[in-house]
Structure 1
Amino acid sequence: MTTTSASDDLDRWIRNDFVALNTRLEEAYFAADAQILHGRPELETVKRRIGSEGAELVGRITESGAPRSLPTGDDERYELLGSVGFYLGACRRHEIEGPQSAAWPLAQLLGSSLGVVPRFVFAHQVLYNRAVGDTFRTFTALDDERAFLLYNGLSMLAYQRTAAALRRVPALGVSSPLTAYLLREARSGLDDVLDLGRTLSKTLDVDRFFLNIRPYFKAHRVGGVEYRGVNGGDFAAINSIDVLLGLCSPYDPFYQALLTEKYPYLPPEDQALLRATGTAEPLLDAFVREATAGPITPQLRDNAELFLTVCRLHGAASAFHHHRLVVPFLQAPAARAPQEQGQGQESEAADLTTSGPPLHVVMGTLARLVDLRTARQRPGTDGGGSARPSLDRLRYALDAAPRSGLRTDDRSTDDRSTDDRS
């Protein structure tokens, strides 16, 4: 049997029997309002099938001559890593122990060859998830999982569109008429991010997400190492936007630690983009420099006000995600979550997040990121790291300069209204 056919067999199983088996378990958990059930013979049989069938299919790939016979293209190997990772993620979710160790050597080999972690990440679920017959790979057949992946995937595309536009601005200069086109493209992308977030918040069922989708994102071991779980922000685009706008600094120890931690969880091509983050002058610095040097030309004013709108929208999208998706879909249900069978309160609390640290630590980190992206200075602090002083300088320079020959198609550009909780 060739590696190609063995990989195809695994892919078909992931798209068919694997989905059916997981769905059967999730429906039972949901009916019992439990995160997992143990000791029910009919469900233990389903779990054993997931463990043994997946191990057998992965074993066929390794027996066919890996690494010599593995796909040579990065995209094909990355997709195969996703398939193996789906299997390992399901084993972790259902607490299946034993069979999954057969997949560890292949996952480690694929991960090391690509320079990424040897587990599935969010990229495998959204932007690197080839559809067959209109259907992309999922863990279950639940409508909520499909909606979660669809709207988050579209948001990632919108973020990438925004980042691609902003990356081209430094070479043109902030007063170029071509820059106005790129800033309008960035504004459009962030408008889409906000719209998609609002749609997801209205579509996704809180209990379904917490009980039946979130558990697949948990941290799990591959070999002797435990790798943190899935994070929807594991793409370079959002960090490129942070830094290019000037709202976050790659020299800030807090932000630098986040970039370093997420690096191996990015797709290979995103790693190169993340490495390049911070090499260009932040657009905020460039706008402040030109606006304060004067005179402020009509084009520079138009571009600066478009830029402030992009900053406002980026902050609003971050605030909306935190307050309307993370808090109600993770923090709130965690407070009333049923205790998992066989686990104490300490173990259960440590298992609520996908990132490893306890929930309150994760929420604190996310809240600080929102503060940076909205340029909010927390009361009682010196505002260190916040872009608010520079944004205020730019706004003051625009307000103080006379308006002449101004033409703008921009809507409201009040960058101070960043906390979108609607």
Structure 2
Amino acid sequence: MALEQHEGMIRQLKEEGKTYDEISNKLLAEGVIRGASVANLQGKGTCGQQVGKGVPGGATKCCVGCHWRAKHTSLQLIIICSLKVGPMYGRKTMKGYLATKGIRACHMRVGAAMQAVRPHYHEGRQRGARNLNPVPYRAEYFGEKLHMDQNEKLVMFGVTHAMAIDGYSGKLVGHSTMPVKNNLVIYEEVYRKAVLGHGLWDQVRTDRGREFYLCQYVQEKLAGQRYCTARPSFLQTPSTLNHRIERLWSEVNTRVNFPIKACLQSLTDQGAINMEDDVVKFCTSQLACQVASVGLTRFVEAWNQHSVPGRGIPDSLASGGCPVKVTPSMVPCAAVAADLYDAERGSSLTRHSPFGRDPFVSVEERALAQGRFMALHGDLNAMFNSVVNENNGPFSDALLDLIRIST
């Protein structure tokens, strides 16, 4: 039932001196659910009609119906966004996500609206603990340090993320989702994309994993071109010391990985999928990577538009890019860079890292199966929207159909 249909009753109750709590309870008793919260009944509108007394500064408050109409669109947009990103986006990250859609709103207003329309999500965030970095960090300018790392929370289902973040601005400048961590994929989709898009960083910082060898190799080749050559071109440290990127994985896990993992683990526990079967492993990895990539892309866009206390918005801080720009000829594609690495270092990088066994023996067979699957489940965005909001049905059904089509 629409709130404006009860505008007359609301105005009458207010004229009788009823409080917003009493009006809200009356609406609920009448069966009005949407829009009956106290937060939605309060505030200013546009018609200027007086419905309350003692308003500071002589300002007037309009009729509740007018106020509801003024705020209805924004609340609906936030509801739609919450269905796309799930319960773990707070007011500032949600504000960043709204900004990517061209919607500008105060984070306090966004928070109040989120609390009103998704109270159980709000309560869940209030109970959750945040992992904060206890070690002070400082970078002097955009392009001083590039932090890279990988996430393997879904490695048992064939999903691995890699991301890169600028130390000064906090902007996520590159990301990729792949079945198994691979030097060539991380180099091409994370490091090379970041360097071509923003310029050459003075230092790349990673953990001691071998999956960053190609990135480090090319970074070393370009060492003489850097803005500041006083520091090493790359630095390998334990993961516990690479805080600038490590602390973000808890955000990605709650917003992307854990909902998908819960669904896949449930299917495994029920015996619906057998992760010992190589074809099942392949199908699970292929679909899970695509769905997880939707969530990771949304997170990166929202993160780069959210406001960092005391700093600003990452996208704004990164607007000028690195001091040194490069051309594509200076940063070869992954295949060429890997050939150079193999020839110079005398060792061979893994070109392809499969997860499970590809059941398709030809391009035509693969295209046919893909067409059949897309006819049944063509919207990966809707699939992620569902699973992140604890509705596992669409994702589960799609995975089981993919396995059936592929075997």
Q: Classify the TM-score, shorter chain.
A: under 0.3
> Could you tell me the TM-score, scaled by structure 1's length?
0.25
Q: Which has the higher helix share?
A: 1
Bigger Cα Rg = 2
